[in-house]
């Protein structure tokens, strides 16, 4: 690790101001950023911790029935909160281990947009809105490829607003070493439509499997996607899984999510 300055503002505006300085970087739970710094692969001159900003923490139900989760809320809090819908609860419960869940935050996870991370799948599948210090971004516009998002330099995620599906399911096939998603499928069933988001699988990062969505909107059953498959060429290939195997798992995990949400 290289030396750095550490700041811990208590308001969003202070944080945003501090982040204007050169090579300053936001620090959430540090579960991604700190290991990267330890390996000397990142070297911010100032770390602006978001953990003391109370406006960015907690979970509440909005009047329209949606749920807002503060950007600095930990995975453990999400997993244990009474208002959280089934799929999201499962998702948060199965991130990393207890230590990771007690530190890692939803804002950090979404901002990082690791292609194997879990939160991007629920955000995309429910059509969540990412609320930053300066604007609101729909999930469909937010994720822009592996480790790439619509966030501008210095922009921070204040909260995330999730429409609540009538039923939902998250099916994660873990990469055996890291326990991140080798393929994770989040399915959200709303009154008028079903959305399927896939993480872990694609070289383009999290994506919506629109053919499956169309088929499910016709007929919500596991069999309705029997003849569908994702394009293998878009899949990630590494020592844990080939493109072919990942494409296969996308279908299997989607079928399990359909059953899970039925």
Partner 1 sequence: MPKDSGIGAAIKRREDARFLLGSGRYSDDITLLNQTHAIFVRSEVANGEINSIDTSEAEAMPGVLAVFTGEDFVDVGGNPAGWLINSRNGDPMKEPKRPVLAHGKVRHVGDAYAAVIAETEQQARDAAEKINADIKELPAVIDMASALSGKNFVHDEIGTNQCYDWGWIEDNREATDKAIKNAHHVTTLELVNNRLVPNAMEPRCSIADYNPANDDYTLYTTSQNPHLTRLLISAFVLGIPENKLTVVSPDVGGGFGSKIYHYGEEALVLAAAKRIKRPVRWTATRSESFMSDAHGRDHVTKIELALDKDNNFLAFRTETMANVGAYLSNFSTVTPTILHGTLMAGNYAVPNVYVNVKTVFTNTAPVDAYRGAGRPEATYSLERVIDKAATELGVDPIKLRRQNFIKPDQFPYVTAAGLNYDVGDYDAIMDRLEHHADLKGFAQRRKKSEAAGKLRGLGINSYIEACGIAPSNLIGTLGARVGLYDAATIRVNATGNISVMVGAHSHGQGHETAFPQIVADMLGVDPDNVEIVHGDTSKIPFGMGTYGSRSLAVCGSAIVRGVEKIISKGKKIAAHMMETTDDKVDFEEGVFSVKGTNKTVSFGDVALKAYIPHDFPIEDIEPGLEETAFYDPQNFTYPAGAYACEVEVDPDTGQVTIESFAAADDFGNIINPMIVEGQVHGGLAQGIGQALLEGCTYNEDGQLISASYMDYTMPRAADLPSFIVDHTVQTPSTDNPLGVKGCGEAGAIGSPPTVVNAVVDALRSANHNVTHIDMPLTPERVWAAMNN
Give the footprint of ligand FAD on this chain (CB under 6 A). Answer: 25-33, 50, 71, 95-96, 100, 103-105, 107-109, 111-112, 114, 117-119, 156-157, 179-180
Least distance from C-beta 57 to ligand FAD, angstroms? 11
CA–CA gap between residue 183 and residue 177 (Å, rounded): 14
CA–centroid distance for 163 within its chain? 15
Of the residues 63, 176, 219, 231, which one makes contact with partner 1 according to CB under 8 A = 176
Least distance from C-beta 211 to ligand FAD, angstroms? 25
Owner of token pair 């996870």: 109
Query: How many Cβ atoms are within 10 Å of 93's Cβ, its own excluded?
Result: 15
SS3 78: helix
The window from 76-84, 105-113, 147-155, 239-247 that contacts partner 1 (CB under 8 A) reads 239-247
Q: Is position 98 an interface residue for partner 1 (rule: CB under 8 A)?
A: no
Of the residues 249, 250, 257, 258, which one makes contact with partner 1 according to CB under 8 A = 249
**CA distance between the termini of the chain:** 48
Nearest residue (CB) to partner 1, 102 versus 242: 242
Nearest residue (CB) to partner 1, 51 versus 229: 229
| 203-240 residues labelled b (16+ CB within 10 A) or e (exposed) | eebbbbbeebbebbeeeeebebbeeeebeeeebbeeee
Nearest residue (CB) to partner 1, 16 versus 116: 116
Nearest residue (CB) to partner 1, 32 versus 188: 32
Contact 37, 62 (CB under 8 A): no
Least distance from C-beta 106 to ligand FAD, angstroms? 8
- Residue closest to 121 by CA, chosen among 154, 98, 153, 87: 87
Query: How many Cβ atoms are within 10 Å of 186's Cβ, its own excluded?
Result: 35
Least distance from C-beta 43 to ligand FAD, angstroms? 13
Q: Binding marks (x or -) toward partner 1, 6..45, rule CB under 8 A?
A: ---------------------------------xx-----
Nearest residue (CB) to ligand FAD, 133 versus 221: 133
* 33 interacts with, out of partner 1, ligand FAD, none, CB within 5 to 8 A per kind: ligand FAD
CA–CA gap between residue 215 and residue 236 (Å, rounded): 25
SS3 63: coil
Q: Is position 81 an interface residue for partner 1 (rule: CB under 8 A)?
A: no
The window from 123-131, 191-199, 212-220, 238-246 that contacts partner 1 (CB under 8 A) reads 238-246
Rounded to 10 degrees, the C-alpha dihedral 37/33/99/260 comes to: -140
Binding site for partner 1 (CB under 8 A): 3, 39-40, 173, 176-178, 239-242, 245, 248-249, 252
């Amino acid at each position: 690790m290289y030396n750095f300055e550490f700041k811990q503002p208590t308001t969003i505006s202070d944080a945003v101001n501090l982040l204007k300085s050169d090579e300053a970087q936001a620090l959430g739970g540090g579960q991604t950023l700190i290991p990267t710094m330890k390996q000397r692969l990142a070297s911010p001159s100032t770390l602006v911790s978001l953990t003391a900003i109370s406006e960015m923490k907690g979970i509440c139900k909005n009047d329209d029935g949606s749920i807002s989760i503060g950007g600095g809320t930990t995975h453990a809090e999400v997993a244990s909160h009474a208002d959280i819908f089934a799929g999201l609860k499962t998702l948060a419960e199965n991130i990393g281990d207890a230590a990771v869940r007690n530190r890692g935050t939803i804002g950090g996870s979404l901002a990082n947009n690791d292609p194997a991370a879990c939160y991007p799948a629920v955000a995309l599948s429910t059509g969540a809105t990412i609320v930053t210090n300066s604007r609101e971004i729909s999930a469909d516009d937010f994720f822009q490829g592996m480790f790439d998002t619509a966030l501008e330099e210095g922009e921070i995620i204040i909260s995330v607003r999730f429409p609540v599906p009538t039923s939902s399911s998250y099916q994660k096939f873990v990469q055996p070493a890291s326990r991140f998603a080798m393929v994770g499928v989040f399915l959200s069933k709303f009154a008028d439509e079903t959305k399927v988001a896939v993480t872990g699988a694609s070289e383009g990062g999290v994506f919506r499997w629109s053919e499956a969505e169309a088929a499910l909107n016709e007929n919500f059953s596991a069999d309705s996607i029997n003849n569908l498959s994702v394009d293998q060429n878009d899949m990630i290939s590494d020592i844990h899984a080939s493109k072919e195997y990942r494409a296969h798992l996308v279908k299997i995990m989607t079928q399990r999510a359909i059953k899970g949400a039925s």
